[in-house]
Amino acid sequence: MLIMKCTTKSFYRICLSLLTTASIAAGAFAEQPANTLTRAESVAGWKLLFDGKTTEGWRNYKKDKISEGWKVVDGAIVRDGNNAGDIITDKKYKYFELSLDYNISKGGNSGLMFHVTEDNPAPWHSGPEVQIQDNVDGHDPQKAGWLYQMFQPYPMRWAGETEIPDATRPPGQWNQLFMRISPRGCEVSMNGVVYYQFKLGDKRWDELVAKSKFSKFPGFGKAGEGYICLQDHGNLVSFRNIKIRELADDGAITPPVDGKLNLKATLAFPKLKWENWVPVDEDGTVNRPRRTLELTYAPGDSKRLYVLDQGGTIYTFENDPNVQLANVFLDIEDRVTKWNTPGANEQGLLGLAMHPRFQQNGEFFVCYTKPKTHESVISRFKTMAGDKLKADPASEEVLMVVPQPFQNHNGGAIEFGNDGYLYIAFGDGGARNDPKANGQNRSQLLGSILRIDVNKKTDTAAYQIPADNPFVGIEGIRPEIYAYGFRNPWRIAFDRTTGKLWCADVGQDLWEEVNIVTKGGNYGWSNREGAYTFGNRTPGADAGVAIDPVWAYDHSVGKSITGGRVYRSDRLKELQGKYLYADYVSGGVWALTYEDGAKEAIRNEEVVAGGLPVLAFGQDAQGEVYVMIDSGKGESILKLEQDK
């Protein structure tokens, strides 16, 4: 590793060049151009504190300008030379979210402070400091990302972690530091991994201050607002992508939308009852709620719908708003993990796809998880001879069994593409931080979208690999893989008009994303979350350049994306051609407008402000999109209407 102490601008450029080269060599992962905002960030209220060209907006502590010790070099603001001094923003900030990249030299040390005031000899007398340093050769026992002498990361015991996490990347590579200061609670993350939460001024905060070296400063951490400060600790350090979003006094953000559609959600089939299911039995037993995860149709029959319940049952009924009964089409509850048992929330019957020639062959396909082993199963079923309205449970033909190391991130959505092939979405296997590194490991099937030909078989498998799959014939890569780098795809859908494959990928700690999937594409996880740095694994030398999402939102907006469908019905003109998606936690529903060939969606409109915990979206033969939710009453299928 490079050891450097730069005292001249020319020598510094050499050092920075070497650092940058080392960073690039660590992996071929594309990034949003430095010191720019994505359209999603702009709409969400983020602003740049550094434009990559000048030091405008910054000055030295208790000075009216910035010293010559700080330079802008190759799009980074750099401590270059002796006596650079601590620098602060021109503006004070109260509640905010801040994100920045830093690149520290070997053995180097710096810091990020907030709520700094200028009535003390040094900024750290008032402003709490998030440590920045080389965690391997740095001299301070307080590691990068720790709130100095106050808070440090802790292992997530529920996820099996036993050691204090260290998500930092080594000197020569860029690290992303995220901080939220809010009355609702504060948080610090390193490279996408949440380190800790705290609350300014609460009992725990006061106790830690009293035990620290800051106890002798009566105003420490009490200003309530102040400057943001980058620390000069005498070592080479570079900063870029310094972005901030100010929060309201109650910690709220401005909704990240371009406009609002005058729509509301209503029951699509208000009279519908479910065969063999009632909310409460006669003896008072409350039954498991309906969890509808798929609503679809069989090609060639526009008048009938098929609905999947996560508990293990598929129903069918006429596509009529006055329909009264959903009949059981297939019941395999005895083969499926019960989703309402401990840890199994993301398991059960997860996917349904009707064969394009269902009217002729009676075939359909499902994805489910097995009890006890938690394996994911892809199976073919057929209807009863002479009865297309009843499936034969004994007709199951298992195509694929995929081991799952944990109970979450199963994925499980399946779809037929316009090419007639079956596409299957699997998550990374679960837990936190992709502990098995499955997202970038193409020698197995997790963390990927697969593509198989179910109309042909081989001597060893009940399917064939399409000859044009992107990794056919490449040693060490499973040929079923169509695209990879996914954490928990929930869910996938083809646009019937354009043929584009949409995928919503649930994030971990910071970002939720919407992707348009292309053949052979790498979508970054777990080296990235969305378009942002995640963790500290080095990408493989053969990893493809990661593809940015067409839209992303942060966890101040929502925390669990639900992928939807492109609306192709003529009923609601304001939704025509737009991709509907939702967030299960916040209950918001939105509509994205995307133009072919664009890198990002060009418009994001609010459909429902919140309070609607959407599990999935479905679509009928007319292109109408349905919204599915949990319901203890069985009222789980909604549609959108104009709110007059």
CATH architecture of the region 9-246: Sandwich (2.60)
522 neighbors 557 (Cβ within 8 angstroms)? no
Residue 568: both structure tokens together: 């192709």
Nearest to residue 524, comparing CAs of 554, 493, 503, 498? Answer: 503
The CATH code of domain 259-642 reads 2.120.10.30
Q: Which residues contact 65 (CB under 8 A, 6 or more apart)?
A: 59
Q: State the DSSP code for 216.
A: G
pLDDT digits (tens, 9 = 90+) for 46-56: 999 999 999 99
Q: How many CA atoms lie within 13 A of 619 on its CB side?
A: 22
Residue 574: both structure tokens together: 């304001």
pLDDT digits (tens, 9 = 90+) for 12-31: 444 444 444 444 334 344 56
Residue 452: both structure tokens together: 């198989």
Max CA distance (Å), the chain: 88
DSSP string, 261-281: --EEEEESSTT-EETTB-SB-
pLDDT digits (tens, 9 = 90+) for 441-460: 999 999 999 999 999 999 99
Distance of CA 152 to the CA centre of its chain: 24
Per the document, the length of the chain is 644
Nearest to residue 87, comparing CAs of 102, 68, 103? Answer: 68
Work out whether the CA dihedral 489, 493, 495, 499 comes out positive or negative: positive
514 neighbors 561 (Cβ within 8 angstroms)? yes
**Residue extents of the structural domains in the chain:** 9-246, 259-642
DSSP string, 158-198: GGT--S----PPPTTS-EEEEEEE-TT-EEEEETTEEEEEE
Q: What is the mean pLDDT of the chain?
A: 93
Q: Where are the alpha helices (DSSP H) in 342-493?
A: 358-361
Quote the percentage of the chain above a pLDDT of 70: 95
According to the model, what pLDDT value does residue 16 have? 47
pLDDT digits (tens, 9 = 90+) for 346-384: 999 999 999 999 999 999 999 999 999 999 999 999 999
pLDDT digits (tens, 9 = 90+) for 184-241: 999 999 999 999 999 999 999 999 999 999 999 999 999 999 999 999 999 999 999 9
Number of CB atoms found within 10 A of residue 211's CB? 11
Q: Tell me the C-alpha to C-alpha distance, in Å, between residue 488 and each of 414, 432, 452, 464.
A: 13, 11, 20, 25
According to the model, what pLDDT value does residue 281 have? 78
